[in-house]
A and B are shown apart, each in its own frame.
Chain A
Amino acid sequence: MVLLQVQDLSVTLQTAHGPQEVISHINFSMNAGEKLGIVGESGCGKSITALALMSLLPPDSKINGKVILEGLDIATLNSREICSIRGNRIGIIFQEPMTALNPVKQIGAQVSESIYLHTKLNQKQALERVIELMDKVGLPVNRFPLNLYPHQLSGGQRQRVMIAMAIACNPDILIADEPTTALDVTVQEQILNLIRDLADSTGMALVMISHDLGVIAQTAENVMVMYTGNVVEMGSTVDVFQNMQHPYTHGLFSAIPHVGSSAQPGKKRLTSIPGQVPELHLRPNGCNFANRCPRASNICREKEPMATRVSDHHQVWCYHPLNREDKK
């Protein structure tokens, strides 16, 4: 059953260089319980996409297109109506748990906030629910009393509190925006497992946003690769990662060092993508990646590519996608 349909979504922000389109004509859909990964580097628009889904964009921004949640276009809701969606049907976890949590409010109070906002539970019932949630996220109340403050917790523990807050009202969709980037690798493993398990057990859909290809590979069944506001490749994670078509996706993969590299002989050198991500107001015409792409031709510089279907679960936006034979 289709839970979320994003149609032709574009967001324009006011910047120092005037209004700029930070994401352009994004289309994707999600079924209930699906896990979608959005991967890209800074400035690709992945966080803006997440904020757009929650209508959390700055007031002077413009949003075009449709965000349809079970038949309801939430992009058109006014501020009062959207409040009943946020926290209730869509929950979000941010990257920096210290700044996303109120430093002067106890953790119990923060988790119960959305419960009081969106449900009609009384105090006793809400407290029970909070205790239940904290247990679910691995912070049982006998070891982590509800009157603790965020600064008394470690980074990973704070992130667990955020997760508890986000799932408090059993949302249909959980958005995780770089939830583990600021955490140590062993804590990251625990948090990712927690998020995955929660999504599996509650049937929640998950949008996992990360620049870390490993995180996406281990969490998401479908993936969207973004570059400067466009989707460049999209499909099932297995298809995209095993048979990547877009030169940018390939470039990202080649640029990361893989564990086990020390066993390989020969001089080590990472393949880097030449140049750098263009600033918003300096994006070239046509395909945004053309000036860094080893396969670019004239048409790439003139017109933006349309979607090409690679397989049932795999699309790419490129005039010269990689074929199996091209890749080493």
Chain B
Amino acid sequence: MKHPLVKIEGVYKDYQLPKKYLFQKAPVFRALHGITLELNKGTSFGIVGESGCGKSTLARIVMALDKPTSGKVFFDGRDLFNMPARDLRHLRRNFQMVFQDPYGSLNPRKNILGIVAEPLDTLKEKLSFAQKKERVGQILAEVGLNSSDTDKFPHEFSGGQRQRIAIARALITRPALIVADESVSALDVSVQAQVLNLMMDLQEKYNLTYMFISHDLSVVEYVTDQIAVIYMGQIVEQGTTKVLFQNPIHPYTQTLLRAVPDVNPLNRKKKNKDIIPLFEKTKESCPFLDRCTRATKTCVKNAPELLGEEGHLVACFNAD
């Protein structure tokens, strides 16, 4: 059996918070709690969660821009955090990232050629300037821009175009994996559609694997084959997109789906009743305890594990 392209095994990430007193040990914030995932080649995996849930932290760890406190990440079978720095640098051509902010992710002082060609510097084979320019021109055409725009600067482009430039930069080394961290969240609706279509076309053409991080459920549903829902650093539900949207089990997933405003004005939603927490949360409790309508005594004393059949895993004691 072929191994998955990306294997995330028991990744924990802790951050040190500022000390309250001089002689106190610095308190620790656990951003990621034992994340285990597998991404298969050619698929789109969605990571869904709200702000602060740890999805961007996960993205950075998968891109080896941050080290996990414990746990491993395997890319194509190789342990990313257990290899010499030089090897990692050369391996980077195989995974690239597209960021959220089309205005912040491009260096305003560099022209498009410099920006898009940057990942080429990490390739083992050194390319000449002419070769770089040609390759950049090709990639720009593929993402729907003019190959002659190489001399222009980011501020001469709109948000959607800049995101295309960011995609071009991510594609230029022909990576196998692209991590899209809220890549369309900052775009207008019609531009978002164009960029999503582009990404899906490119995936088909190059058999790309996407790790698609977003808080926008409708976008994730459209683009991904599998989804993991993250709440406070833990996966609470995971499965194929179709199954998860048809039959969301975890109370958090259900809350998220119910909260998306319906475009049909005749479907005025009934208000979610205000949640009165039934129990006090402790360190061992389920993280969703204070927002859950189905909480029971078990949920206070233990945090549920991610269990279920193949295709749909849930971390809940009271799964329907």
Which residues on A are within 8 Å of B, measured CB to CB?
Answer: 41-42, 155, 184-189, 192-193, 211-215, 217-218, 237-238, 241-242, 251-253, 255-263, 268-273, 276-277
Contact = CB atoms under 8 A, between A and B. Distances in A.
Contact of B260 (A259, A263, A268, A269): A259
A262 B261 CA distance: 18
Chain B: number of interface residues, binned into ranges? 35 or more
A265 B68 CA distance: 39
Contacts, number: 122
Contact of B246 (A188, A189, A262): A262
27 contacts: A42-B188, A185-B50, A185-B216, A185-B260, A186-B50, A187-B50, A188-B259, A188-B261, A189-B261, A214-B262, A214-B263, A241-B265, A251-B190, A255-B189, A255-B193, A256-B189, A256-B193, A257-B219, A259-B245, A259-B257, A261-B221, A262-B246, A263-B242, A268-B222, A273-B190, A276-B161, A277-B158
Centre residue among B190, B196, B221, B269 by max chain A CB count within 10 A = B190
B261 to A, nearest CB: 3
B288 to A, nearest CB: 12
Given A185-B215, A269-B197, A270-B196, A41 B260 contact: no
Helix, strand, loop or mixed for chain A's interface?
helix
A193 B190 CA distance: 27
A268 B256 contact: no
Given A241-B263, A262-B241, 20 more contacts: A185-B215, A188-B259, A189-B258, A213-B263, A215-B261, A218-B269, A241-B264, A241-B265, A251-B190, A255-B193, A257-B219, A259-B218, A260-B245, A262-B221, A262-B242, A262-B246, A263-B242, A272-B191, A276-B161, A277-B158
B42 interface: no
Nearest to A257: B222
A186 B193 contact: no
B217 interface: yes
B94 interface: no
B296 interface: no
Interface string B171-201: 0000000000000000011111110110010
B220 to A, nearest CB: 9
B86 interface: no
Nearest to A212: B261
Interface in B250-300: 255-266, 268-269, 271-272
Contacts of B192: 255
A9 B292 CA distance: 49
Contacts of B216: 185
A187 B196 CA distance: 26
Contact of A218 (B242, B255, B265): B265
B160 interface: yes
A270 B259 contact: no
Nearest to A292: B190
B34 to A, nearest CB: 23
A193 B242 CA distance: 29
A127 B188 CA distance: 42
A204 B217 CA distance: 32
Nearest to B252: A186
A125 B226 CA distance: 56
Nearest to A254: B193
Interface string B41-53: 0000000001100
B159 interface: yes
Given A241-B263, A269-B197, A252 B245 contact: no
Contacts of B272: 189
Contacts of B256: 185-186
Contact of B245 (A193, A262, A272): A262
Given A185-B256, A260-B245, A276 B158 contact: yes
A187 B259 CA distance: 9
Nearest to B219: A257
Contact of B221 (A42, A193, A257, A272): A257
Nearest to B268: A218
Contact of B218 (A42, A261, A276): A261
A211 B159 CA distance: 15
A125 to B, nearest CB: 29
A238 B265 contact: yes
Given A184-B51, A251-B190, A252-B190, A218 B218 contact: no
